[in-house]
Structure 1
Amino acid sequence: MQLPAFLKRLLVMAPLLALSAGQALAADNHLRIGINDSPQNAAIELAAQLAKEKGIEVEVLSFSDWNTPNLALSNGDLDINYFQHQPFLENAVQQNGYDLVPIAYGVENKVGLYSKKITSFNEVKDGDTVAVADDPVNQGRGLHLYDRAGLIKLRDGVGPKAGLADIEANPKNLKFIELPGPQLARILDDVTVAQSYPSHILAAGTTDPGSALLFSNDQENGHLYALRFVVTSKNVDNPAIRTFIDIFQNDPRVREAISKAYGNPELYSLAWLSGRQEASR
């Protein structure tokens, strides 16, 4: 039986909430990292195993949504999380007042427009239903792709946080439905086109992750949408966290695990190899 997302979230959060607010973790060499469902999880788990060789215990906790990992990190129930890009983090900080800091790049995932019903945007019919992310940052990424595909026209000058209200023209009268990012890969049987990430497509197993009708080219944005390792300000220089990140980025076994998980080098890039390691909010 498939549990609803909110019950999964409660089950994940239950052991964390047992910690009193602000309670310190057991030891400086015991880290808790929060992640989302992703093919990268195997590489994170491997890095955690390798960290034991350096005397660091890393507990990996997987969340089913995009909000709880930042809440848990802000509350002190995590030491670090790894699931979000810079615009998403900036929006979370602005909306919630979190004291969260990105300290290193991770993998950069492309975003694409996927379909199991058509092979060309010319096949989209009047009144078809399409899907986008429901958060303001990732929805903007999707809408810019729909604009590039010629299915809609966004108003001139709209930035990365474009929303449905910024659609200036919708000549095919498309019906947009909004869903949390991780769920978009699972709706391909029900819509004509859906925004999604190759990593989520891989995790869901719904179609070939390389089969998107259109992919983003985010390297033009200076790795703006690369995932970040994020901590609270007090942990910016935490040596155990820095060691774990170094293992993830530089150990050849971890890099091989990333390559194996994606299976296609065109679906991701290692942002730290060409981008500046640290970025301020």
Structure 2
Amino acid sequence: MRNTAKITTAVLAAGALTLGLSACGSDSGSDSKDSALIVAATSVPHAEILGYVKDNLAAKEDLKLEVKEFTEYVTPNTATQSGEVGANFFQHKPYLDDFNKKNGTTIVPVTTVHLEPLGLYSNKADKLADLKDGATVAVPNDTTNEARALKLLEENGLIELKAGAGNEATPKDIVKNPKKLTFKELEAAQVPRALDEVDAAVINGNYAVEAKLSPKKDSLVLESATDNPYGNFLAVKKGNEKDERVVKLGKLLNSPEVKKFIEDEYDGSVIAAF
């Protein structure tokens, strides 16, 4: 999902915008406390967590909540910026920083909710050592998640990146590649679907869960949650942080009830970050 124009992402974004936002009313970005707060989210686990809040907690706070699901990472931010939705819930800070920089948007985080550990998966290898020389590894193609995927491989001894590659690292920044791995760069949502076509794939936690993979049980290696900067948060257009509905939702997303829901529902594949 690299933000530099990838055809797949552009098509998905256009489709999601047409299908996902056609039902958004003019009040979706309104700051009226009486209107529903419409939140753009990817389906697993974000929309599921929001669905739990809507069905079990929102009424207690007199919060009207509507959830709009998307299959990619571009439209939720552009829709939030334009006011077609009032907030979004799908991303981490490195991705948002990169998106704002490249698109001139002013989206800001409000409340961090959970972490989805990134993992390396394979249908052809049972453990890391089984990966053959010359193996093809699929990775997300957006700037921050590609760098994150490469860092995971580096931390587990498969490659070495040049010093200072940082959050914009790509396969071009690999300086040591003892197994002579090749990389297939795909939009993040497409990576799980390519698992049978490659030797291994680094998959975002939400898409792994959606594909019925258990990061905790099925991954060859899994990102550590300790001091991890990739927590996912509720986000809004700058200036809307104090919208009463946003404040209420942020409080509910950090509630003991939501923490228990995450623990019970995802069994360590998604980790509460509050």
Which of the five TM-score ranges fits, normalised by the shorter chain? 0.7 to 0.9
Q: Distance in 2 between matches of 1:24 and 1:189?
A: 41
Answer whether contact 2:46 2:90 (CA < 8 A) is retained: no
Q: Distance in 2 between matches of 1:71 and 1:7?
A: 11
**TM-fit CA distance, 1:106:** 0.9
Deviation digits for residues 193-219 of structure 1 (CA, Å, limit 9, x no counterpart)? 1101333222112x3332211111242
Deviation digits for residues 141-190 of structure 1 (CA, Å, limit 9, x no counterpart)? 10011122322221123213211110112233322111122222222211
- Could you tell me which residue of structure 2 aligns to residue 268 of structure 1? 270
Q: 1:137 to 1:152 in 2, by over 3 A?
A: same
Are 1:241 and 2:243 matched, yes or no? no
**Equivalent of residue 38 in structure 1, options 23, 44, 52:** 44
- Could you tell me which residue of structure 2 aligns to residue 47 of structure 1? 53
**What code does the residue aligned with 1:184 have?**
V
**TM-fit CA distance, 1:60:** 0.3
**What code does the residue aligned with 2:149 have?**
G
CA RMSD of aligned residues (A): 2.2
179-188 or 56-65, which deviates more: 179-188
Q: 1:162 to 1:216 in 2, by over 3 A?
A: same
**TM-fit CA distance, 1:251:** 4.6
Please list every run of 5 or more consecutive structure 2 residues that lacks an aligned counterpart in the other structure. Answer: 1-10
Q: Distance in 2 between matches of 1:164 and 1:105?
A: 30
**TM-fit CA distance, 1:261:** 2.4
The alignment partner of 1:127 has SS state of: coil
Answer whether contact 1:37 1:62 (CA < 8 A) is retained: yes
Q: Distance in 1 between matches of 2:151 and 2:122?
A: 17
The alignment partner of 1:176 has SS state of: strand
**Equivalent of residue 87 in structure 2, options 80, 92, 97:** 80
**Equivalent of residue 180 in structure 2, options 169, 173, 180:** 173
Q: Distance in 1 between matches of 2:22 and 2:178?
A: 48
**What code does the residue aligned with 2:241 have?**
V
- Could you tell me which residue of structure 2 aligns to residue 151 of structure 1? 158
**Equivalent of residue 160 in structure 1, options 167, 192, 200:** 167
The alignment partner of 1:160 has SS state of: helix
- Could you tell me which residue of structure 2 aligns to residue 257 of structure 1? 261
Are 1:132 and 2:139 matched, yes or no? yes
- Could you tell me which residue of structure 1 aligns to residue 130 of structure 2? 123
Q: Distance in 2 between matches of 1:24 and 1:197?
A: 29
Answer whether contact 2:121 2:203 (CA < 8 A) is retained: yes
- Could you tell me which residue of structure 2 aligns to residue 275 of structure 1? none
Q: Distance in 2 between matches of 1:128 and 1:72?
A: 39
Answer whether contact 2:259 2:272 (CA < 8 A) is retained: no
- Could you tell me which residue of structure 2 aligns to residue 230 of structure 1? 235
Q: Distance in 1 between matches of 2:194 and 2:159?
A: 21
Answer whether contact 1:8 1:64 (CA < 8 A) is retained: no
Q: 1:232 to 1:6 in 2, by over 3 A?
A: closer
Q: Distance in 2 between matches of 1:240 and 1:157?
A: 41
**What code does the residue aligned with 1:244 have?**
L
Answer whether contact 1:34 1:60 (CA < 8 A) is retained: yes
**What code does the residue aligned with 1:182 have?**
A
Size of the aligned set, in residue pairs, is 260
* Identical columns (%): 28
Q: 1:24 to 1:83 in 2, by over 3 A?
A: closer
Deviation digits for residues 46-98 of structure 1 (CA, Å, limit 9, x no counterpart)? 21232133322111001111000000000001111110000000001100111
Please list every run of 5 or more consecutive structure 1 residues that lacks an aligned counterpart in the other structure. Answer: 273-281
- Could you tell me which residue of structure 2 aligns to residue 13 of structure 1? 21
Q: 1:249 to 1:165 in 2, by over 3 A?
A: same
Q: 1:83 to 1:173 in 2, by over 3 A?
A: same
The alignment partner of 1:235 has SS state of: coil
45-54 or 78-87, which deviates more: 45-54
- Could you tell me which residue of structure 2 aligns to residue 278 of structure 1? none
Q: Distance in 2 between matches of 1:7 and 1:58?
A: 24
Q: Distance in 1 between matches of 2:113 and 2:172?
A: 32
Answer whether contact 1:81 1:230 (CA < 8 A) is retained: yes
Q: Distance in 2 between matches of 1:109 and 1:198?
A: 5
Answer whether contact 2:137 2:183 (CA < 8 A) is retained: yes
The TM-score, its normalising length taken from structure 2, stands at: 0.87
- Could you tell me which residue of structure 1 aligns to residue 7 of structure 2? none
